[in-house]
A and B are shown apart, each in its own frame.
Chain A
């Protein structure tokens, strides 16, 4: 199976090299692509100097547009599975194989690496956990499926779902909405336990002042997504 790891990076010149080096050690047979989302720092230079396979976007698109670019790349190059990890080193690349497994076995279309199953490693701040739990309840109410780590950016998608995401992917704060879009379109979802680290450098894309806006926007987006699409049985 051809596997592609998509690593979105926006101003990650301090951590991106470490992430990629660890990725190459942990999964030597897997291809990867870094999406440089128009970073204003030295990210581009680091990528070029170290011969890291990457796509550079000429205009900043945000995490949703960057990930979607990766899915488009996966579709164009015929990959069977696409795995998405963060460029800031929060995700431990040794769990990539765990996240991949259910897809290779044909058990699921979307596998989410969840930090709340074994409750090991970095668990995020209390406020964020509350937000994540709220989204969990909301998704459960609307779709009847229990997802613990709704905002996790550590996920793997099957070929079909990759194709779907390459055409339709949520923008701005895409993770929870993408889950709902997958459910509504009849894709199966599975969660596997992973351990996450606290971010080493760089800032989260969601800062404190934005969190209220984030919650309102994401909740609305989830409700809209649930409304606009009919559940298809495949």
Chain B
């Protein structure tokens, strides 16, 4: 039956594509993790701030190795092509990392303000003490 053969061929192609995608994702995540570990080793990023990066790497690695998990998630919320769910998860992690960056910057700017004020106050005190001498 030629029609059935055709159908089988198509399915095979889809399967191959998925396999390729899976391999690509695994490779990409391995590179991603090794970059993070390298930066951590060189101490260019502090472990505390890399936790959200590592967390995202672990979740994405899990998805790449067990694609059926994301397929279930995708069907649950009505995404037709499972790979779109992978993009969605990635996008969410990007947002999460951006929020954590904003909070880090806010903390830094607060600390910086306190320091600037303390320097100003100290400088004034030094000036007064020098005057008294």
Contacts and interface: CB of A to CB of B under 8 A. Distances in A.
Describe B's contact surface by its main secondary structure: helix
Contact of B121 (A55, A59, A65, A171): A55
A84 interface: no
A157 interface: no
A58 B113 contact: no
Chain A, interface size category, equals 10 to 19
A197 to B, nearest CB: 28
Contacts of B123: 55-56, 58
Interface string B52-88: 0000000000000000000000000000000000000
Interface in B107-129: 112-113, 116-117, 119-121, 123-124
Interface in A45-98: 54-59, 61, 65, 68-69, 72-73, 76
Interface of B: 112-113, 116-117, 119-121, 123-124
27 contacts: A35-B120, A55-B120, A55-B121, A56-B120, A57-B116, A57-B119, A57-B120, A58-B116, A58-B119, A58-B120, A58-B123, A59-B112, A61-B113, A61-B117, A65-B113, A65-B116, A65-B117, A68-B113, A69-B117, A69-B120, A69-B121, A72-B117, A72-B121, A73-B121, A73-B124, A76-B121, A171-B113
